[in-house]
Amino acid sequence: MKPSLSRRGLLTSAAGITAGLTLAGCGDYRPVSAKAANAKAPLPSYIPYRGVPTSMPATADGVAAGHLHYPAHPVEALPDGPPARGPAIDIMTLIFNPVPPPVERNVMWQALNRSIGCDLNFQITPVADYPSKFAVTIAGGDLPDAMLMLPPSQNSAATPGMLDALFEDLTEHLSGDNIRDYPYLANIPSASWAPCVLGGGIYAIPMPRPLSGGPVFTRLDLIGKRGLDPNPKSWPEFFQLCQDVTDPKHNQYAMGDPITAFDTVMQMLGGPNKWRVEEGRFTWWFETEEARQTLDAVHRMTKAGVMHPDAYSVTGKVKDWFGTGQIVINPDGPVAWNDFYTMYAPTTKGFELGYMMAPGWDGGEGVQWQGQSYYGMLILKKAPKARVKQILRAMNALASPFGTDGFLLRKYGVRGADHTVKGSDPILTPKGQAEVTLPTIFATDAPFTLYYPARPEVVRAQYAFQKEAIERLVPNPTEDLYSPTNAKMSALLQKTLDDTRKGIMQGRVPLKEWDEAMRNWRKQAGDTIRAEYEQAWEARHS
């Protein structure tokens, strides 16, 4: 199998190798074994914030808090004044949105700097270019004070040796009860902190994300028009629902992305979330019988015509297909819930979203794959202790939770210029919509909160989904483990395997070729990755 690379994959791999060679050449970088890379460190104590009561509270097992309205009198996040007075802090990070106006024309950014006590100089790179930017910056050695690091599984330059050579070990500042000096960072759940431990130290601050993962969204309005049950109880009922909602004459189909269709069926079968671990032995999800059965099932869906006709040839259109009713079922991330209502409900009469929990293949309940507990992590270059503490105080302020004036400022900007108020809820102005894209969430953030002032009733459905999802969660056991071979090779091999599985699901490639693809994967890197994860697991659980 000859892997083909996307532009991002090529840049990531090439730049990551360059960074590794440069560090090795300077004498500071020492490769470490998988066992040493996964040495334990004490996590920060988890001290949840209790300042804003709600009838939909967060839970210790991962349900996010829900709020119908913003408090009329927000809690003062920083009652002692700006916490990080001192020199400016340079933060290199990424953005998905258009770049916001510069600080001299951005009243939200100016107000944020005043509240923090120093200038936050965000160096912003579009998301597609960030992996190469990261690696080139590491290789050049001219480091900002803080920079976003994507997970090592997506970033071959993110090695424990590199962190040890160039970045601050934050263990003495953040482990255990030391984190009480930074109460809003202490409000970040432990699951999000676990991946920040590499090489026996806490080397980063997480950007937390909800454990529930994203729902399988349904267009309840379209399903209801046909008098169908939106909650199938088994694979046969799900397949029948897909056939019943498909109407090619009206350009309506069940699903639009074979990869998320694969994920949905795997969860019906109870398949592993990337890896399965049993008594310290690891099995990759593609190796399982569940994967073979899923490939065949999605091929049946394709053959039955329930997949959008462009599902295998067009990318980047699935959200729009779902929002405009061309597809009726669409797995997506939790933040998409509000986005769909914002983008499509105003122009679609009766627009209504639901969610589908994966049924068991033969009945009963399927599983819900746990979402990645963090998007990325913020690493701090080596600096004197006083400077490190100043940066940590600034990041603590950027994690001020829902219900505080600090959260309101980060998300909605300055009242009048950036938002108006309806009742007690902020409504962004056009100026605010541009200014609040400042990517503070890609430095750190408060835990995910369910809140949608445009339609408060939606929050109840979101909270109900979270409660159901948490009961069925299957974690990815490698999320907080480091495999050097996986970091270097997985993106290349995944691209090739995705081409093969799409071919099988589309009917261009016979199912029997999957066995050969798995043999090649094991030979090229898979067995080495497995061994490294097993060593890592032993290091963390011994």
Q: Rounded mean pLDDT of the chain?
A: 93
User: How far are the Cα atoms of 15, 95, 204 from residue 139, in angstroms, in the given order?
Assistant: 9, 22, 19
Domain definitions of the chain by residue range: 62-209+373-448, 216-369+476-540
Question: What mean pLDDT do residues 242-257 have?
Answer: 98
Q: Which residues contact 383 (CB under 8 A, 6 or more apart)?
A: 145, 168, 391
Where do runs of H (alpha helix) occur along 304-354?
318-323, 336-344
Radius of gyration of the chain (CA): 24
How far apart CA 379 and CA 393 sit, in angstroms, is 14
Reported as a single tens digit per residue, the pLDDT across 335-358 is 999 999 999 999 999 999 999 999
Reported as a single tens digit per residue, the pLDDT across 395-450 is 999 999 999 999 999 999 999 999 999 999 999 999 999 999 999 999 999 999 99
Q: Are the folds of 62-209+373-448 and 216-369+476-540 the same?
A: yes
Of 242, 247, 226, 173, nearest in space to 203 by CA: 173
How far apart CA 51 and CA 283 sit, in angstroms, is 43
Reported as a single tens digit per residue, the pLDDT across 367-402 is 999 999 999 999 999 999 999 999 999 999 999 999
Reported as a pLDDT band with limits 50, 70 and 90, residue 542 is confident
Reported as a single tens digit per residue, the pLDDT across 309-327 is 999 999 999 999 999 999 9
| pLDDT for the residue 157 | 84
Choices 3.50.40.10, 3.30.390.30, 3.40.190.10, 3.20.20.105: CATH for 62-209+373-448: 3.40.190.10
pLDDT over threshold 80, residue 23: no
pLDDT over threshold 70, residue 54: yes
| pLDDT for the residue 17 | 38
Reported as a pLDDT band with limits 50, 70 and 90, residue 12 is very low
CATH topology of domain 216-369+476-540: D-Maltodextrin-Binding Protein; domain 2 (3.40.190)
Phi and psi at residue 41, in whole multiples of 5°?
-145, 150
How far apart CA 324 and CA 252 sit, in angstroms, is 10
| pLDDT for the residue 29 | 56
